[in-house]
Structure 1
Amino acid sequence: MHSPLIKICGISTADTLAACLAARAEWCGFNFYAPSPRFVSSEQVSRLAAQAGPAIRKAGVFVDASDAVLAEAVAAGRLDAIQLHGHETPQRAAEVRAQFGLPVWKVLSVSEAADVARASAFYEAADFLLFDAKTPKGQMPGGMGLSFDWSLLAAYRGPLPWGLAGGLNPINVAEAARQTKAPLVDVSSGVESAPGVKDIDKIEAFCQAARAL
């Protein structure tokens, strides 16, 4: 099988972005959800986008964001994709895509087969689906180090490209990619030394492991 594309999410500093570039990750993610320990301001992301240049694609992560928040972030981060990680409906996803002219990624929180089946509602509204672990009620949506039963994706045959997130780390990513045949793997807390603090060595190790297939 082909090695999956790699997305390192929650990048907020110049040195960790440099680590993503050095490890040849295809995507980095900037988190625009204010309560998150990985939140970046427009000023921060503008500097990071300039550093990234065309060498890596940039996704903005949003949770039920307004058009104004999206517009500011898209401009500051020179984003290549808008990742919707909240309770956005298919209608909202389609609106965002039409408004900003960028690919829309929709995160689907998974704990059972019915959650994977929900993907069909977004086939016409989104460009990419990201299957992530469902977090407990009241917890941060994503970035919690939780995984789900990867076998739930065995039957997924949807028309959209997709990725796997949730509890991935340098130790389990190769097995996760083997089991699911995910076209993309997405990591955040799995390459951190503390919440929101990325570890350069773990970023390198994750990328190496994901490609060792």
Structure 2
Amino acid sequence: MPTTEPAHRGVKICGLTEAAGFDACIEHGADWVGFVFFERSPRNISPVQAQQLSARHKGGPKRVGLFVRPDDETLERVLNGVSLDVLQLYATAERAQAIKARFGLPLWLSQPVSSRAELPTTCTVERILIEPKPPAQATRPGGNAQKLDWGLLSGWQPNFAWMLAGGLNPANVAHAIAQTGAPAVDVSSGVESAPGIKSPQAIATFITQARGAAG
């Protein structure tokens, strides 16, 4: 499905919970900011908190809400509290289409992979996020600071919009892009000073490294 791509390498900063991190995303030109609506995450945020952060700056990055296998009631409750531009989902493709039909917002679908054979060949949403599969003992499907084997994506050139996630940080994002050619990248724990607390300096460095990367 078509989607509007940034003219430069796209950068999403996910898991924002406090003003300093949000303001750094604005200052340094992130393309998307992500709010996590999943209780098991240390970055879980209420719709009221997300709206308060979002209201700090009119316009700017698109607001993305991350949900894990949400029911309609959860989505409705969140959307009644905060204005979102994109819904990022851990869900089946069938469930994603049902959500699209009801709520009408652009959808991103997370696709954890552990082998090249698991890379998607088609896309029925606006964007696919490619990330590593969580460890067996994980309580969350993502946000575990795991790094994907980037070699799995070497030469992979899908005809749909996608984003690389998982284990990225300011020190490795340029290398990840060089190996994968990712048109956009997503970071959360890699720019934190503590779980759920973003480092403005790390955000600035990450965006600079991602935008300057060859790939």
Is the 1:3–1:212 contact (alpha carbons within 8 Å) kept by the matching residues of 2?
A: no
Distance in 1, matches of 2:58 and 2:114, equals 37
Counterpart code for 1:199: S
Shift of 1:205: 0.9
TM-score by length of 1: 0.91
Amino acid at match of 1:164: L
TM-score in terms of structure 2 length: 0.91
How far is the alpha carbon of 1:4 from its aligned partner?
1.5
**Aligned pairs for 1:80-95 within 5 A:** 80-85=85-90, 88-95=91-98
Once the two structures are superposed, residues 97-145 of structure 1 have per-residue CA deviations (whole angstroms, 9 ceiling, x without a partner) of: 11111111000112111221xx23x623x11000011111231222121
**Structure 1 gaps, min length 5:** none
Structure 2: tracts of 5 or more residues without a match:
1-6
Give distance in 2, aligned partners of 1:48 and 1:173: 26
Query: Per the alignment, in what secondary structure is the counterpart of residue 56 of structure 2?
Result: helix
Within the alignment, does 1:35 sit opposite 2:40 as a pair? yes
Within 5 Å, give how 1:1-213 maps onto structure 2: 3-85=8-90, 88-116=91-119, 119-120=120-121, 123-124=123-124, 126-139=125-138, 140-213=140-213
Q: Report the AA paired with residue 115 of structure 2.
A: E
Structure-1 separation of matches of 2:83 and 2:137: 31
Task: Give the 4+ runs in structure 1 shifted more than 6 A.
Answer: none
Shift of 1:154: 2.5
SS at match of 1:177: helix
Instruction: Name the stretch that deviates more: 134-143 or 60-69.
Output: 134-143
Q: How far apart are the structure 2 equivalents of 1:163 and 1:75?
A: 28
Shift of 1:29: 0.3
The structural deviation recorded for 1:179 is 1.5
For this pair of structures, how many residues does the alignment match? Answer: 206
Q: Does the CA contact (< 8 Å) of 2:155 and 2:180 recur in 1?
A: no
- SS of the equivalent of 1:51 reads coil
Q: What RMSD over aligned residues (CA atoms) do the two structures have, in Å?
A: 1.5
- Post-superposition shift, 1:76? 2.4
Structure 1 residue 81, shift from structure 2 partner: 0.5
